[in-house]
Structure 1
Amino acid sequence: MNTSKLLNEKGGSAVKIIAITLIVLLLFGGAITIYFQYFAKDTFSEEEIAAAKEVAQDEFGQLSTIAADYTVDQQKEAVVSLGYEENKVDKQTTIYEKKNNNDTGYYILLNLQPHDTYPKLSRALVQIFAKENGGLIYEMDNVVNWKQ
């Protein structure tokens, strides 16, 4: 039996080193993700949340009012007429951004998605973000009823 080959092994193979490095990087990335997700949350006062809630309700009220004059196919025209611009279109969701909103400290997004059952309805999500740090202050979801 030749034991000299077993005793002469030097270090780990390249595969072992790469595997260990990847594991350490994944653990480090996971720790950073957990920190930012749970411990570095932005906190807002009750007054800031109440003000953002009022803005969200006002934005949704404007959308509901104008939706009575537009059909589902004309929803882009309706939302653009409220001062939004189309920001992103996913599979079914269209995201609009409020463009003329420099007077407030808010960044407003409006997400519209077709309703699963009723063709003249859209699901709406209004999100209010703080401009200074980008934290989500308040969000409200509801349904918009478009003209027949």
Structure 2
Amino acid sequence: MRQSTGGSSTSNATARAFQGPPQAVRLPGRTNYVRNPNLEPETSRSWDVGIDVFHDDFTLKLGYFHTDFEDKIVSAMGTLGGNPIRTWENHGNAMIAGFEMNLEWWMGETFNWPVDVNLRNVAKIPEIRVYFLRIKNYRLL
């Protein structure tokens, strides 16, 4: 059985992240990933803010999140020697943001009803193009 005296709390957070360039990957029977020597590290800056409300019959959590990326790393398709390949490339800046909500409602001592909602934008990234990679004197692993 859940017991609560009610109340609320607030939260906020900030963070920075770094993602280095991935190495080449060869998967049998799959498209091969080829290393891009011109790839720059991806960095991001994130923040979020939220409020939690606690009541005898329910808990409500609301939050907003926002992440800005620089030199966003994305997968791109191409061909090498007529075979399909993928590589990674930097695609400038990107942004992801949205709202999150969690409601948990207690309907008696033995039953509760949790509801989670996440509303976000699809990452805003410049148009990703398909291109053909031409590399001389390059061997797949």
TM-score, normalised to structure 1, is: 0.26
Q: Higher helix proportion, which one? A: 1
| Larger Rg, first or second structure (1 or 2) | 1
TM-score, normalised to structure 2, is: 0.27
Q: Higher strand proportion, which one? A: 2
